[in-house]
Amino acid sequence: MTTLSTPPPGSTNRTSASSDASDVFEASKQAPSAASSRRGVARVPVRRRGDTRFVLACLLPALVLFAVFMAVPTVNVFRMSLYTWSGFSPDMRFVGLDNFRRLFDDDQFVRAFQNTVALLVVVTVVTMGMGLFLAAIMTRQRLRGRNLYRFVLYIPNVLSVVVIAATFSAVYDQENGLLNGALRLLSLDGLQQVWLGNQKVVLYSVAIAMLWQSLGYYMVLYMASMSSVPEELYEASALDGASAARQFFAITLPLIWQSLSTTLTFFIMSAVNLSFVLVRAMTGGGPDGSSEVLLSYMYKQAYTNSSYGYGMAIGVVIFAFSFLVSLLVSRATRREPLQF
Amino acid sequence: MRRSLVLTGTAVTVLGLLAGCSAGGSGSDSGRTTLKVAALEGGYGRDMYTQVIKAYEASHPDIDVQLQISKSIEDEITPNMKAGRYPDVVVLGQGRKAALTETLVKDKALEDLTPVLKERIPGEDTTVGDKLTEGIVGNLNTNPYGTDQTYLMPMYYAPTGLFYNKGLFEEKGWKVPGTWDEMFALGDTAKKQGIPLFTYPTAGYLDSYFFALLADVGGERFYTDVMTYKKDVWKTANARKALDITTELLGHAAPATVGYANEQDFTKNQQLVLDDKALFMPNGTWIVGEMAEAPRADGFQWGLTPLPAVTTGGKRYITTSVESVWVPTAAQNKDAAKEFIAYLYSDEAAKIFAKSNAIQPVEGIAGSLSAENVEFYKVYEDPSVAALVGGFASTAPVEGVDIKATLFDTANSIISGDTTEDRWRAALNEASEKLRQAGG
């Protein structure tokens, strides 16, 4: 790239115009003389076309990768959901919407769906609520040692799922686990549970692990957006006698609304995946399918039960479901962005 | 100039990507056959395979054996198989989570290995069929479609049954129960001393229990009926009897069982037996190696017993787990593969396998058993005990129906009281009926 030493306005000596687009732009703006502007106008379209090609060439590898690894498989999921196929054999049988029809009669699928929805609702509400609350406390209350808290709360996010599963296996252990041990110490023996064995409790045990894993990440995100809210607003409202809670709802929340609604959409999509990996590592969907979620059921059907097409039909349901929920959430949380 | 550079760069990138996806060329040049062998690295380790292959290559200089071995071999060979590059020989049993063997069986994508039985073992005078222990082929495990054709050759076999602490029984003066009545009486005695009768690592381990129980209750005929989904088989008195016994046994289960019956914690259930906190659990001989490092009660010694008999003096079956070796129909070197399989049953190979405790079902293997294994394989010597091999017959896949899960996993719900025996039986009947229709 040739450097452009700012020429005096009105200069006609622009023959050394470089091949760079910004130079041309500069040149046409700064050199209104007839000769140079004609040159500029004449060369711009040529260069634009060259640039487009260059940009396309740069994009090509990414586009190819995207097509091969994202677009084609996604289309394939939809296509395969209309077939009966074991996953290997050359004989695929087209069955139309039979796989979907069968889904509604499948009690295990219905249960997996219910579990997924329950996890999504509970974990989303609690994670978002706690994340906001903790972020507000840490940014507004000038808590002592808040860097340490932030660090501690963030750590679970970088742990691998296997480590989390092992950690929670130690926490939930029914005999000498952390949780039941603490309850015994507090003489609350009646509250002790077989956390991963009781079919009514196991889903919430998984939910707590999910919460623990993701809370820190969203808290840090909210802290970042809260710290950009101007201090004057808080000072002014404090002079008017607003309490901390009032400040939170009247200033903080509206001003970070944009990032709240974005993270919400992200979270819903990632929670579907996270619930799968955690369930697989912690309970394997058990006991007796009581903690099965959609993705783990899809895996079991597509591979263990050799019903690949049926598994893909479940995949389509998951796709449609998370798409719909994200859409609804982003619609429901849409507001006029506030400026500060 | 720059544009051509860019284009060259792009081309190189794209080519690099494509080349990365299509690595691995063809083998058989210079007249040597490349035989691709894929094996699951199970509890027996990987050394025995490399040794056997070295011995085979020494006697077959024209064959180059490529071994691919992994603890999750399915994940490694499946992508290549989908792309049409099949291994020639696969050593992989049934009952794995990825269910590759089952899927290929359902697809009828396995090579018929019946001719191998008639083939002479390289370097020996006997045929493979003659050398194999009687009754080890010809069941649903080796002939999955219930015909005379053998598709899966039996590779290693191991008894599975109820494992217990021999030392504890000697110390307390208890007798290992021979009938279910004695079993439950022992359960009451042990309960008074605070030791529950039963536990299982995960519900999936109940396979060895259930198969034997079904045969104990109604003989091999009834067992086969269940395994081949005979109409209304779960409504019979025999089926009710089997579920009655199971429900009663599960009533004696250690309270911790269900909470630990997952992949993360199942060793804690196994630990219960080592700690004298449960008397019996269904398991296989690999348990010795698996729990070798675990702490244990004083005087602990592994014992293995078949399930108690249903009536006094009744025949008892012992579920025998058999690993399989098979050849995909799409393999390239099928003849070389069959010859290699025949070699796997030679004395030379059997000795190498036995050194790693992988016991093959061949005549005269008893001499190469380790002291520990002699104890376990002794269960076959009891005249009232018979080996039972097999599993549910293969059908075309039925969406949403997994009868093994219905049969085994429901045990968790029975213990926790979330379902009843009647509902269990109804669910089994429904699943069995759907599979029967798919199989017919």
Residue B297 lies in a domain: yes
Chain B positions in Cβ-Cβ contact with residue A64 (cut-off 8 Å): 14, 17
Average pLDDT, integer, range B333-362: 90
User: How many percent of chain A have pLDDT more than 90?
Assistant: 46
- Say whether B68 sits in a helix, a strand or coil: strand
Residue B404 lies in a domain: yes
CA pair distance A15, A36, nearest whole angstrom: 7
Average pLDDT, integer, range A166-194: 88
End-to-end CA distance of chain B: 69
> Do B105 and B223 belong to one domain?
no
- Say whether B423 sits in a helix, a strand or coil: helix
Over residues A209-255, the pLDDT tens digits come to 999 999 999 999 999 999 889 999 999 999 999 998 999 999 999 99
Best residue of A86, A172, A196, A299 to probe chain B, by most B CBs closer than 10 Å: A86
Q: Is the Cβ–Cβ distance between B198 and B279 less than 8 Å?
A: yes
Cβ burial A47-68 (10 Å sphere, 16+ → b, else e): eeeeeeeeeebeebeeeeeeee
Chain A positions in Cβ-Cβ contact with residue B82 (cut-off 8 Å): 88
CA pair distance A300, A298, nearest whole angstrom: 5
Look at residue A2 in the predicted model and tell me its pLDDT: 39
Look at residue B317 in the predicted model and tell me its pLDDT: 92
Look at residue B434 in the predicted model and tell me its pLDDT: 92
Q: Which helix (H) or strand (E) holds B243?
A: helix B237-251
Tell me, yes or no, if B329 comes closer than 8 A to chain A by beta carbon: no
Residue B6 lies in a domain: no
What's the half-sphere exposure (Cβ side, CA atoms, 13 Å) at B363?
A: 8
Chain B positions in Cβ-Cβ contact with residue A86 (cut-off 8 Å): 103, 106-107, 397
Tell me, yes or no, if A165 comes closer than 8 A to chain B by beta carbon: yes
- Domains in chain A (CATH in brackets) are 21-80 (no CATH), 98-332 (1.10.3720.10)
Residue type, B324: S
Look at residue B111 in the predicted model and tell me its pLDDT: 93
Look at residue A33 in the predicted model and tell me its pLDDT: 44
The answer to whether the CB atoms of B261 and A197 lie below 8 A apart is yes
Q: What distances in angstroms separate CA B217 from CA B136, B214, B220, B241, B433, one per listed residue?
A: 22, 5, 9, 7, 21
Residue type, A209: A
Of B98, B109, B400, nearest to A301 by CB-CB distance is B400
φ, ψ at A334 (rounded to 5°): -70, 130
Chain A positions in Cβ-Cβ contact with residue B9 (cut-off 8 Å): 57
CB-based burial label for B351 (10 Å; 0-12, 13-18, 19+): middle
Residue B16 lies in a domain: no
Of B17, B255, B416, nearest to A287 by CB-CB distance is B416
Q: Is the Cβ–Cβ distance between A264 and A128 less than 8 Å?
A: yes
φ, ψ at A338 (rounded to 5°): -90, 140
Residue B20 lies in a domain: no
Q: Would you state the torsion angle of the CA atoms of residues B132, B138, B142, B143, taken in this order, to the nearest 10 degrees? A: 150
Give the minimum alpha-carbon distance from A86 to chain B in angstroms, rounded to a whole number: 7
Look at residue B292 in the predicted model and tell me its pLDDT: 86
Over residues B273-285, the pLDDT tens digits come to 999 999 999 998 8
Best residue of B17, B77, B265, B401 to probe chain A, by most A CBs closer than 10 Å: B265
Q: Is the Cβ–Cβ distance between B38 and B87 less than 8 Å?
A: yes
Residue B126 has pLDDT above 70, yes or no: yes
Over residues A15-72, the pLDDT tens digits come to 443 444 444 444 444 444 444 444 444 455 556 777 888 999 999 999 999 999 999 9
Look at residue B290 in the predicted model and tell me its pLDDT: 83
Tell me, yes or no, if A305 comes closer than 8 A to chain B by beta carbon: yes
Where do the H-state alpha helices sit in B40-179?
47-59, 73-82, 100-106, 114-118, 128-131, 166-172
- Say whether B256 sits in a helix, a strand or coil: coil
Q: What distances in angstroms separate CA B122 from CA B129, B204, B298, one per listed residue?
A: 13, 39, 49
> Do B146 and B112 belong to one domain?
yes
- Whether residue A73 is preceded by a cis peptide bond, meaning omega within 30 degrees of 0, is no
Beta-bridge mates of residue B161: B283
Q: How many CB atoms lie within 10 A of CB B150?
A: 23
Q: What distances in angstroms separate CA A7 from CA A2, A11, A18, A253, one per listed residue?
A: 14, 7, 14, 50
Q: Find the residue in B nearest to A167 (Cα).
A: B264
Residues contacting residue B6 through CB under 8 Å, at least 6 positions apart: A54, A57, A58
Look at residue B206 in the predicted model and tell me its pLDDT: 93
Would you place residue A134 in the very low, low, confident or very high pLDDT band (cuts 50, 70, 90)?
very high
pTM equals: 0.79
Average pLDDT, integer, range A126-155: 89
Residue B379 lies in a domain: no
Q: What angle do CA B169, B173, B174 make, to 5 degrees?
A: 60
Minimum mean pLDDT range among B18-27, B200-209, B249-258: B18-27
Average pLDDT, integer, range A247-274: 90
Chain B positions in Cβ-Cβ contact with residue A166 (cut-off 8 Å): 264
Q: What is the CA radius of gyration of chain B?
A: 24
Would you place residue A8 in the very low, low, confident or very high pLDDT band (cuts 50, 70, 90)?
very low
Where do the H-state alpha helices sit in A173-256?
178-185, 202-227, 231-239, 244-247, 253-255
CA pair distance B115, A282, nearest whole angstrom: 46
Of B262, B397, B411, nearest to A86 by CB-CB distance is B397
Average pLDDT, integer, range B246-255: 94
Look at residue A89 in the predicted model and tell me its pLDDT: 73
Q: How many residues does chain B have?
A: 440
Tell me, yes or no, if B254 comes closer than 8 A to chain A by beta carbon: no
Over residues A63-114, the pLDDT tens digits come to 999 999 999 999 999 999 999 888 777 778 898 898 999 998 898 999 999 9
Q: Is the Cβ–Cβ distance between B90 and B325 less than 8 Å?
A: yes
Tell me, yes or no, if B269 comes closer than 8 A to chain A by beta carbon: no
Would you place residue B1 in the very low, low, confident or very high pLDDT band (cuts 50, 70, 90)?
low
Give the minimum alpha-carbon distance from B339 to chain A in angstroms, rounded to a whole number: 26
> Do B165 and B153 belong to one domain?
no
Tokens describing residue B134 = 């009687």
Of B6, B97, B102, nearest to A306 by CB-CB distance is B102
> Do B185 and B298 belong to one domain?
yes
Best residue of B4, B75, B94, B264 to probe chain A, by most A CBs closer than 10 Å: B264
Residue A151 has pLDDT above 70, yes or no: yes
Of B107, B256, B398, nearest to A175 by CB-CB distance is B256
Q: Which residue range forms the structural domain that includes residue B409?
A: 159-320+393-439
Residues contacting residue B76 through CB under 8 Å, at least 6 positions apart: B38, B68, B70
Tokens describing residue B248 = 């009663």
Average pLDDT, integer, range B395-419: 90
Average pLDDT, integer, range A301-307: 86
Q: Which helix (H) or strand (E) holds B272?
A: helix B266-274
Give the sign of the dihedral formed by CA B129, CA B132, CA B133, CA B139. Answer: negative
Minimum mean pLDDT range among A158-162, B21-25, B228-232: B21-25
**Residue B440 or residue A21, greater confidence:** B440
> Do B299 and B351 belong to one domain?
no
CA pair distance B203, A329, nearest whole angstrom: 40
Look at residue B439 in the predicted model and tell me its pLDDT: 76
Tell me, yes or no, if B99 comes closer than 8 A to chain A by beta carbon: yes
Tokens describing residue B298 = 């004083």
Look at residue B10 in the predicted model and tell me its pLDDT: 63
Tokens 């014992």 -> residue: B303
Look at residue B169 in the predicted model and tell me its pLDDT: 94
Tell me, yes or no, if A7 comes closer than 8 A to chain B by beta carbon: no
Look at residue B27 in the predicted model and tell me its pLDDT: 43
Tell me, yes or no, if A237 comes closer than 8 A to chain B by beta carbon: no
Nearest to B339 by CA among B192, B95, B121, B185: B121
Tokens describing residue B339 = 């010859």
Of B261, B398, B401, nearest to A286 by CB-CB distance is B261
φ, ψ at A337 (rounded to 5°): -65, 135
> Do B290 and B397 belong to one domain?
yes
Look at residue B384 in the predicted model and tell me its pLDDT: 87
Tell me, yes or no, if B83 comes closer than 8 A to chain A by beta carbon: no
Tell me, yes or no, if B256 comes closer than 8 A to chain A by beta carbon: yes
What's the half-sphere exposure (Cβ side, CA atoms, 13 Å) at B110?
A: 28
DSSP B418: S
Q: Is the Cβ–Cβ distance between B89 and B327 less than 8 Å?
A: yes
Q: What distances in angstroms separate CA B411 from CA B54, B180, B210, B278, one per listed residue?
A: 46, 18, 11, 17
Tokens describing residue B219 = 């003989």
Average pLDDT, integer, range B284-311: 90
Nearest to B206 by CA among B288, B157, B266: B266
Nearest to A23 by CA among A4, A50, A42, A45: A4
Residue B18 lies in a domain: no
Residue B195 belongs to a domain with what CATH number? 3.40.190.10
> Do B117 and B101 belong to one domain?
yes
Over residues B202-240, the pLDDT tens digits come to 998 999 899 999 999 999 899 999 998 999 999 999 999
Strand segments, DSSP code E, in chain A are: 83-84, 93-94
Residue B337 lies in a domain: yes
ipTM value of the model? Answer: 0.77
Look at residue A316 in the predicted model and tell me its pLDDT: 95
Residues contacting residue A45 through CB under 8 Å, at least 6 positions apart: none
CA pair distance A196, A142, nearest whole angstrom: 39
- 3-state DSSP: chain A helix, strand, coil percent, rounded to 5? 70, 0, 25
Residues 332-371 of B with CB under 8 A from A: none
> Do B258 and B275 belong to one domain?
yes
> Do B163 and B232 belong to one domain?
yes
Tell me, yes or no, if B399 comes closer than 8 A to chain A by beta carbon: yes
Chain B positions in Cβ-Cβ contact with residue A61 (cut-off 8 Å): 10, 13-14, 17
Nearest to A108 by CA among A248, A286, A246, A331: A286
> Do B214 and B328 belong to one domain?
no
User: How many percent of chain B have pLDDT more than 70?
Assistant: 93
Nearest to B38 by CA among B4, B7, B72: B72
> Do B238 and B337 belong to one domain?
no
CA pair distance B340, B342, nearest whole angstrom: 5
What is Dmax (Cα atoms) for chain B? Answer: 93
Chain A positions in Cβ-Cβ contact with residue B416 (cut-off 8 Å): 197-199, 287
Look at residue B365 in the predicted model and tell me its pLDDT: 80
Chain B positions in Cβ-Cβ contact with residue A281 (cut-off 8 Å): 263-264
How many domains is chain B built from? 2
> Do B363 and B404 belong to one domain?
no
The answer to whether the CB atoms of A54 and B260 lie below 8 A apart is no
Minimum mean pLDDT range among A19-23, B101-105, B399-403: A19-23
Residues contacting residue B11 through CB under 8 Å, at least 6 positions apart: none
Look at residue B98 in the predicted model and tell me its pLDDT: 80
